């Protein structure tokens, strides 16, 4: 039965089309914001608008930018600041040359709320200015809601003064002033207890915001996910506010400001954090699954729980809305809608952003892998192939799902034409919008530029700069007022308030400015364009547009790169299909002489079911010279290679097919060898990705050698269980290590400590005399030299960092040991590059021009050779592993005793190795385990030499065996080298350490070193126990010798493997 839960479906669409969802929700929220602006600009009387308009009046009439004059003997003179004015002249201006009569009527005394005809007297207009003589006592009621309705009916609204700026700092300053003024009023009227409670509430709300970001940081996002949660909640608030207004509910801003902090504290942000944890738990940057699947699984697991919490909270708020308590009722009603929209935003907008975040994380991992491989010396092409192979592989059906016109790219794979289509749509839309903008210009009111540029949002209208009351501009109003007032009257001239026409309302001179035709479609289009033009001028929206454009540029850079990678990845299956077609059983060709009968000009005739004519050797050479080597048959390519026309090392480049190159090289080597057995041998070569090997792991490839792979364990290491992969041909090794794991687990597991992470490279440089060599050594050992070399070295890599310089002088030759960290790579190539650059910098920039670099590796490293410096100073990762094995486990599992093991370890591993003059070999068989794990995980086998440096120590502690292994030079990495191959990479996946660590470079490689040391601990424990009990020879004889003489059990036999077949000598020995 199909589930009725719609949440996974909603989340699936949001994760599959995240950009569409984000854009749609952003447009929806923007529309809600525009609607709120329209509400503020209309005559609807709400607590918000009433407060805003009265605030404008109080502020503008409180002495800001005012000028005073006193009437003396019929003449106006300047009044002092301390004199109190009885009257005020309120000035109004418009963008028209003549003051509109409709606006003058709206400002007439009859429109005053509490003023009589004596309190508000119109003065004769002067050009575009009109004045009103009012009493100062009633000045604060000048711009009241009643007058505002009259203004709107006349087609006007307050706009900023010409030449003043309401954006930027001015707009922020005015907003802060409004909030501060209202807050001060509320504080003055509120009780002290209420003030304390509100202060605590706001502090707790901001602490909730901080907690949100801290929680998101623990989940791997320092900023974006936390900011997205706040943005989503803001969108929900805007949509809820519009919805409540449409339902006719008036929200008191004071109640909202008092209740909002407690709503945030009570509800919190646990739900998006819970969803984020669920998504990240099932998804990682190296996950092979599609992001959509991870998101859907998380929503399926936690979605109903989240919705249940939302439902309970909404139910509680609904009860509050039904309470009938003034203020509480409206706030609870709004809060319930906020939570409803927040729930919807969580499963759409936030889910879409989360999907984009995960996709960007995977893209970053792709880039990190590629760059790390390039620093290890791999070519860009090969590194890109490896990085793509580590990307999630989405199946074809998932990739080709589409939603028709809902998807800009059709939901299918992104091709070049799809990207071109996307760009064409964006450019066409831009051109269309501007075309419509130009076409509608004749139908717009032809107002002056200053009027068209002003912000029509209801804000403060008066400029704050002082005015000259005696200027020609304002003198007519003073003269008119002098006729109405007596001597001694003091008048304050208020700055002009600028009124602009409302575009949607009829203009006083509408006949002069015709509106577009009466068609409904035209009016809708023009109305939308005018609303959009008006809205984008809003100070908030203009800043949001800049932010959105910046984010869009960044997303485009990522997503277009992702599209390119998808396109490259889509071409890969075609290559595989081509390889499958080539792998055929072709009958042996016969070579015939050409028409001339010359023996040195063979002709190749293929019998492959086709009646194709055979081609001569010369024809094949011509095809090769024409660059059409792909058209050659396998046998033709073999003959050309045997004749030297195709170099053996260049087969991959010539044929552009790694698999064919391997197949042809096998035939060429076989026919040129003495035994001529390779071509038909059991050495496997099919079903292998040679593209990864080419230019990275091996050259002149003729196949691959499969090794038996086993796992020991599980072994508890630092509280976490691991299976240890081991590739070996030595019987009993895996079983023995597994026994050691069992004994260690019985004591609580192994504990490891990493004491150093420092790979080294030791070049040698020569100087003409000892004085110069000594000067170089002293400079390198000084603080100045260390800083200069570190700066030069670190500039060559994002991962390699110089940590130590050690020098040694032998005659005039100076040996410098560079000790560096290398991230998750083993790092020899990136260290070599940094060393070369640092030496060149030292020679050219530091005054050692006479220095000669003998070798970038002077064996002072020391690499792949036994050396005391590695044992003493360490190289790579230095790890110590410890375990305590209970005495009864030693007796029952290991069949020995604690004292016997301690005695054996001293006698064998310490004294015996010292007698042999061993360096780093104070152990039983650490190299066995190190080599097996190295082969299984793609490490460099040659570095087993120094990586197996180990000293094993045992002691009796209260009847229990305390055992440690100290390994100062484990050289391993989780990226580069053999780790790029799929089988070895699969074993790193088994350990959870494949590739670079997504957050802290070097973490994966360090963990692998800890695992190796713990595995060595298990192997040492088991072997020493077998030696102490005398079981070693018996175990090897039982496991390695009995299989040849034991008949296979009836039933299914073990499938034969090419490498499991016995050699002729072994088969003869078994038969006898």
Catalytic residue among 60, 342, 873, 940: 940
- The answer to whether the CB of 849 falls within 8 A of the CB of 753 is no
Catalytic residue among 182, 413, 864, 962: 864
Helix or strand holding residue 980 (H, E): none
Rounded-to-10 torsion of CA 24, 30, 36, 37: -150
Quick one: tokens of 546? 């800049």
Annotated catalytic, 864? yes
DSSP-derived secondary structure for 358-372: HHHHHHHHHHHHHHH
Annotated catalytic, 188? no
> In angstroms, how far is CA 770 from the centroid of its own chain?
54
CA separation for the pair 501, 34 (Å, rounded): 19
Smallest CA-to-CA distance from 36 within 26, 24, 27, 48 is with: 48
Quick one: tokens of 147? 């007058």
Catalytic residue among 20, 413, 473, 1036: 1036
DSSP-derived secondary structure for 56-99: HHHHHTTTTT-EEEEEETTEEEEPPTTSPPSEEEEEEE-SSSS-
Catalytic residue among 730, 836, 899, 903: 730
SS3 for 749-777 is CEEEEEEEEEEEECCEEECCCHHHHHHHH
SS3 for 667-707 is HHHHHHCCCCCHHHCCCCCCCCCHHHHCCCCCCCCCCCCCC
- The answer to whether the CB of 694 falls within 8 A of the CB of 900 is no
Quick one: tokens of 261? 């902090």
- The answer to whether the CB of 824 falls within 8 A of the CB of 974 is yes
**How many other C-beta atoms lie within 10 A of the C-beta of residue 106?**
22
**How many other C-beta atoms lie within 10 A of the C-beta of residue 786?**
15
**Helical segments of 140-252, H only:** 145-153, 168-189, 192-218, 224-246
**Helical segments of 506-538, H only:** 520-536
Residues 6+ apart with CB under 8 A from 850: 767, 768, 772
Residue 862: cis peptide before it, omega within 30 degrees of 0? yes
- The answer to whether the CB of 574 falls within 8 A of the CB of 491 is no
Annotated catalytic, 940? yes
Q: How far is CA 45 from CA 139, 141, 251, 535, in A?
A: 21, 16, 11, 21
Residues 6+ apart with CB under 8 A from 116: 109
Smallest CA-to-CA distance from 850 within 769, 763, 764, 762 is with: 769
- The answer to whether the CB of 985 falls within 8 A of the CB of 852 is no
Would you give the DSSP letter of residue 443?
Answer: G
Residue-wise over 591-612: b if at least 16 C-beta within 10 A, else e?
A: eeeeeeeeeeebbbebeeeeee
Smallest CA-to-CA distance from 583 within 705, 688, 706, 691 is with: 688
Quick one: tokens of 792? 């030069």
Smallest CA-to-CA distance from 152 within 94, 114, 105, 106 is with: 106
Question: SS3 breakdown of the chain: % helix, strand, coil, rounded to 5?
Answer: 55, 15, 30
The strand pairing partners of 358, in sequence order, are: none
Annotated catalytic, 1036? yes
- The answer to whether the CB of 799 falls within 8 A of the CB of 830 is yes
CA separation for the pair 112, 937 (Å, rounded): 87
Would you give the DSSP letter of residue 909?
Answer: I
Smallest CA-to-CA distance from 372 within 856, 380, 559 is with: 380
Task: Please identify every residue annotated as catalytic.
Answer: 730, 864, 940, 1036
């Amino acid at each position: 039965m199909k589930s009725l839960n719609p949440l996974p479906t909603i989340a699936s669409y949001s994760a599959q089309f995240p950009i569409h969802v984000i854009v749609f929700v952003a447009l929806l929220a923007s529309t809600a914001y525009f609607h709120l602006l329209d509400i503020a600009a209309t005559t609807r009387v709400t607590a918000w608008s009433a407060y805003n308009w009265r605030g404008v009046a109080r502020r503008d009439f409180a002495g800001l930018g005012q000028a005073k004059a006193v009437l003396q003997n019929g003449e106006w003179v300047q009044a002092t600041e301390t004199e109190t004015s009885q009257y005020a002249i309120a000035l109004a201006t418009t963008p028209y040359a003549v003051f509109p009569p409709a606006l003058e009527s709206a400002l007439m005394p009859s429109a005053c709320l509490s003023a009589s005809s004596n309190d508000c007297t119109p003065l004769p207009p002067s050009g575009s200015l009109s004045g009103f003589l009012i009493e100062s006592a009633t000045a604060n009621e000048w711009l009241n809601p009643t007058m505002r309705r009259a203004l709107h009916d006349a087609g006007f609204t307050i706009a900023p003064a010409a030449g003043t700026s309401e954006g930027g700092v001015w707009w922020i300053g005015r907003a802060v002033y409004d909030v501060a003024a209202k807050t001060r009023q509320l504080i003055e009227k509120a009780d002290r207890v209420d003030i304390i409670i509100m202060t605590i509430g706001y502090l707790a709300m901001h602490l909730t915001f901080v907690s949100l970001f801290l929680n998101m940081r623990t989940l791997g996002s320092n900023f974006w996910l936390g900011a997205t949660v706040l943005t989503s909640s803001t969108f929900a608030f805007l949509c809820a506010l519009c919805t409540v207004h449409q339902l006719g509910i008036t929200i008191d801003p004071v109640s909202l400001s008092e209740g909002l902090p407690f709503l945030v504290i009570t509800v919190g942000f646990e739900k998006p954090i819970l969803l984020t944890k669920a998504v990240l738990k099932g998804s990682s940057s190296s996950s092979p699954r599609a992001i959509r699947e991870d998101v859907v699984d998380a929503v399926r697991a936690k979605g109903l729980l989240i919705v249940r919490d939302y439902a309970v909270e909404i139910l509680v708020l609904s009860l509050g809305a039904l309470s009938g308590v003034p203020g509480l009722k409206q706030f609870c009603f709004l809060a319930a809608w906020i939570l409803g929209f927040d729930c919807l935003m969580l499963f759409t907008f936030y889910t879409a952003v989360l999907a984009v975040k995960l996709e960007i994380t995977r893209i970053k991992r792709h880039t990190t892998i590629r760059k790390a491989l390039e620093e290890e010396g791999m070519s860009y092409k090969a590194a890109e192939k490896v990085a793509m192979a580590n990307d999630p592989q989405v199946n074809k059906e998932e990739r080709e799902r589409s939603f028709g016109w809902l998807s800009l790219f059709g939901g299918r794979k992104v091709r070049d034409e799809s990207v071109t289509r996307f760009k064409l749509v964006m450019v066409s839309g831009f051109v269309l919008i501007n075309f419509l903008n130009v076409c509608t210009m004749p139908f717009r009111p032809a107002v002056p530029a200053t009027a068209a540029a002003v912000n029509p949002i209801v804000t403060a209208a008066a400029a704050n700069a002082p005015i000259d009351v005696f200027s020609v501009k304002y003198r007519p109003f003073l003269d008119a007022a002098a006729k109405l007032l007596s001597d001694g009257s003091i008048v304050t001239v208020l700055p002009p308030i600028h009124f602009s026409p409302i575009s949607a309302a009829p203009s006083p001179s509408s006949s002069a400015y015709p509106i577009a035709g009466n068609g409904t479609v035209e009016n809708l289009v023009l109305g939308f364009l005018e609303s959009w033009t008006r809205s984008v001028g809003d100070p908030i929206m203009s800043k949001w547009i800049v932010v959105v454009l910046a984010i869009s540029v960044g997303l485009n850079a990522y997503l277009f790169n992702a599209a390119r990678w998808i396109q490259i990845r889509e071409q890969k299956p075609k290559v595989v299909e081509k390889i499958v077609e080539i792998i055929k059983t072709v009958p042996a060709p016969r070579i015939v002489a050409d028409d001339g009968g010359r023996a040195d000009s063979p002709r190749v005739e293929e019998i492959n079911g086709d009646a194709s004519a055979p081609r001569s050797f010369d024809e094949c050479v011509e095809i090769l010279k024409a660059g059409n080597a792909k058209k050659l048959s396998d046998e033709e390519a073999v003959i050309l290679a045997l004749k030297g026309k195709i170099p053996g090392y260049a087969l991959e480049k010539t044929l552009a097919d790694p698999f064919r190159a391997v197949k042809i090289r096998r035939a060429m080597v076989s026919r040129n060898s003495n035994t001529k057995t390779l071509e038909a041998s059991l050495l496997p070569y099919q079903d292998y990705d040679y593209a990864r090997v080419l230019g990275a792991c091996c050259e002149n490839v003729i196949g691959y050698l499969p090794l038996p792979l086993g796992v020991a364990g599980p072994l508890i290491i630092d509280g976490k269980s691991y299976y240890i992969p081991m590739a070996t041909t030595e019987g009993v090794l895996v079983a023995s290590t597994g026994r050691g794991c069992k004994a260690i687990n019985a004591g609580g597991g192994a504990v490891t400590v990493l004491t150093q992470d420092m790979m080294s490279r030791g070049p040698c440089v020569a100087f003409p005399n000892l004085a110069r060599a000594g000067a170089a050594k002293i400079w390198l050992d000084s603080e100045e030299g260390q800083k200069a070399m570190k700066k030069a070295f670190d500039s060559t890599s994002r991962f390699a960092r110089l940590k130590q310089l050690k020098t040694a002088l032998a005659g005039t030759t100076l040996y410098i040991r560079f000790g560096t960290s290398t991230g998750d790579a083993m790092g020899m190539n990136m260290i070599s590059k940094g060393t070369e650059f640092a030496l060149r910098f030292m020679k050219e920039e530091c005054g050692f021009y006479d220095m000669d670099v003998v070798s970038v590796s002077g064996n002072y490293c020391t690499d792949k050779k036994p050396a005391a410096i590695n044992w003493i100073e360490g190289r790579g990762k230095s790890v110590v592993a410890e375990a305590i094995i209970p005495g009864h486990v030693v007796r029952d599992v290991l069949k020995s005793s604690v004292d016997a093991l301690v005695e054996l370890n001293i006698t064998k591993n310490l004294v015996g190795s010292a007698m042999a003059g061993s360096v780093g070999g104070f152990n039983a068989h650490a190299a066995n385990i190190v080599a097996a794990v190295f082969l299984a995980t793609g490490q460099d086998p040659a570095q087993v030499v120094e990586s197996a440096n180990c000293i094993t120590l045992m002691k009796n502690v209260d009847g229990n065996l305390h055992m440690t292994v100290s390994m100062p030079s484990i050289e391993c990495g989780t990226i580069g080298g053999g780790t790029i191959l799929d089988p070895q990479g699969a074993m790193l996946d088994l350990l959870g350490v494949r590739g670079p660590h997504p957050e802290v470079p070097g973490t994966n490689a360090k963990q692998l070193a800890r695992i190796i040391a713990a595995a060595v601990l298990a192997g040492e424990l088991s072997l020493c126990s077998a030696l102490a009990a005398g079981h070693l020879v018996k175990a090897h004889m039982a496991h390695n010798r009995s299989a040849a003489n034991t008949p296979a059990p009836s039933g299914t036999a073990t499938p034969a493997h090419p490498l499991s077949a016995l050699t002729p000598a072994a088969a003869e020995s078994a038969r006898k």
